[in-house]
Amino acid sequence: MKINKKLMSTTLCGALILTIGISLSYGTTAQKPSKKEQLETLKSQEKEEKDKLERMPSNTLEEVEKQNEQGDKVKQLGIKVGKLDKEVNPIDPKAELKELIISYNNILDVKMSFNESNAMKAQDKSAWKKANEILGQKKQTLAQIEKDLKEGNKPIETLTEEFENLRKVEELNP
């Protein structure tokens, strides 16, 4: 009988502890807002703080100091919003690579026109022409990466790696 009472009391205590633990963990997770809700709340707080900053006068030194403190507060909220926004809305690697390709293509165009204008002025044009040949090869490789991206011939990771390797190739600097 004593063993039976001891077993029953141990089981009852264990069940009670388990019930309390589950209810406490459920209570903390149920009350926590989702990341999207947190993001919206932070965005509204940031907007309110920005509006408050814009309304602040800056005539005296004390007012300027308060305005700087408010600016720091807005900055910190902006950083939090940015971090949370990246978590909630992650960047699409395909879109990011597409933007990088467009930007790098523009950079190569500028470098080529710079080299062409310098080649006209220089006495030794061969170095400038060689630099432009390398840039031309880079543009061809970049066009191939862009084509593969559009057609989906290769995985994004491979194309990103090829793009990074292409950027590492140095041109001649005559």
Rg (CA), the chain: 31
The three-state secondary structure class of 124 is coil
pLDDT in tens, 57-68: 888 888 889 889
Helices (H), the chain: 2-31, 35-55, 61-88, 93-121, 125-151, 156-168
pLDDT in tens, 93-104: 888 999 999 999
pLDDT at 47: 92
In terms of phi and psi (left: phi > 0; alpha: psi -120 to 50; beta: otherwise), the region of 63 is alpha
Nearest-10 Cα torsion for 130, 132, 133, 134: 90
**Considering the entire predicted model, what is its pTM?**
0.54
Q: Which of 63-77, 109-123, 146-160 has the lowest mean pLDDT?
A: 109-123
Contacts of 80 (CB under 8 A, 6+ apart): 42
